């Protein structure tokens, strides 16, 4: 609550300005609404390319047997499943998500695939992760960072739980760098995505928010600088699909 006589700070929820205290609940409403159609919509919206983006992130992670891996905003568990197979029985993967609906679907899908024993599920806020310091070898967050209220706090929290020598991987929508792509991408995002949301998920508003949230997210260089301010070193990024998505990777030393 703001102090008496002071107005509460605001933040963006898509293109709307909302009180900071309201954003978590608004984002939660989006993902409660889309949880059961989330993977199907990802396939339709990206024409399946999101699977290649995620596979690229997994390959870049360097996860191997015995690693402890935290997948923040892990949702329906596609990254966690890949990490679990790489970490093996000696390793541990924690799928963390603030949204109970998404977390429940992730748990069910991994169990149905027989991925059990080295995976744990924790409902947690990225800005205040409930894990020990210097615990994980790798931390990942895929298509979730733009939804947190305070990106700087989330980066600091992920830095805290990483071991020295560990790395953070951020896979997120970014800014197209190919000439002419931006106009096409805008037309697709603000016309096709909401239409798909209405037809497939019966929720046009949530997918309009998701398109808007991409435009409010920091671009490649800004996010790189934010990671460096949080303490990460050797931060680099790779543009994917012409910069529509970028993978940032930084180390804790």
Domains, the chain, ordered by start:
11-16+20-178+207-251 (3.40.50.150)
Predicted TM-score (pTM) of the model is 0.90
DSSP 8-state secondary structure symbol assigned to residue 117: S
Over residues 236-250, mean pLDDT: 98
DSSP 8-state secondary structure symbol assigned to residue 131: S
What is the dihedral sign for C-alpha 125, 128, 130, 132?
positive
Confidence check: pLDDT of 193 > 90: no
Alpha helices, DSSP H only, in 95-180? 100-112, 151-161
Tokens 């924790």 sit on residue: 122
> What is the helix (H) or strand (E) element at residue 211, kind and residue range?
helix 204-216
Residues near 89 by beta carbon (within 8 Å), at least 6 away in sequence = 117, 118
- What are the strands, taking DSSP E only, across 143-205? 162-173
- Residue 64 in tokens: 């191997």
pLDDT classification of 197: cutoffs 50, 70, 90: confident
pLDDT classification of 99: cutoffs 50, 70, 90: very high
Q: What is the pLDDT of residue 84?
A: 98
Confidence check: pLDDT of 3 > 70: no
């Amino acid at each position: 609550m703001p102090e008496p006589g002071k107005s509460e700070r605001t933040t963006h929820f898509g293109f709307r300005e909302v009180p900071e205290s309201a954003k978590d609940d608004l984002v939660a409403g989006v993902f409660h609404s889309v949880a059961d159609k989330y993977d199907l919509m990802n396939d339709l919206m990206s024409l399946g390319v999101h699977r290649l983006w995620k596979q690229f992130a997994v390959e870049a992670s360097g996860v191997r047997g015995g690693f402890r891996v935290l997948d923040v905003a892990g949702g329906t568990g596609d990254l966690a499943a890949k990490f679990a197979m790489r970490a093996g029985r000696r390793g541990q993967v924690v799928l963390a998500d603030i949204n109970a609906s998404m977390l429940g679907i992730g748990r069910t899908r991994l169990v149905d695939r027989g991925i059990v024993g080295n995976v744990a599920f924790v409902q947690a806020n990225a800005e205040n992760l409930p894990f020990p310091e210097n615990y994980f070898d790798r931390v990942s967050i895929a298509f979730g960072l733009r939804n947190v209220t305070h990106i700087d706090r989330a980066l600091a929290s992920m830095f805290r739980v990483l071991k020295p020598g560990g790395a953070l991987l951020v896979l997120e929508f970014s800014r197209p760098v190919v000439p002419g792509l931006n106009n096409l991408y805008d037309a697709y995002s603000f016309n096709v995505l909401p239409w798909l949301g209405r037809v497939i998920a019966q929720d046009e508003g949530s997918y309009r928010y998701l398109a808007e949230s991409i435009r409010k997210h920091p671009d490649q260089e800004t996010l790189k600088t934010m990671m460096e301010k949080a303490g990460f070193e050797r931060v680099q990024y790779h543009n994917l699909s012409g910069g529509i998505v970028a993978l940032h990777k930084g180390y804790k030393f």
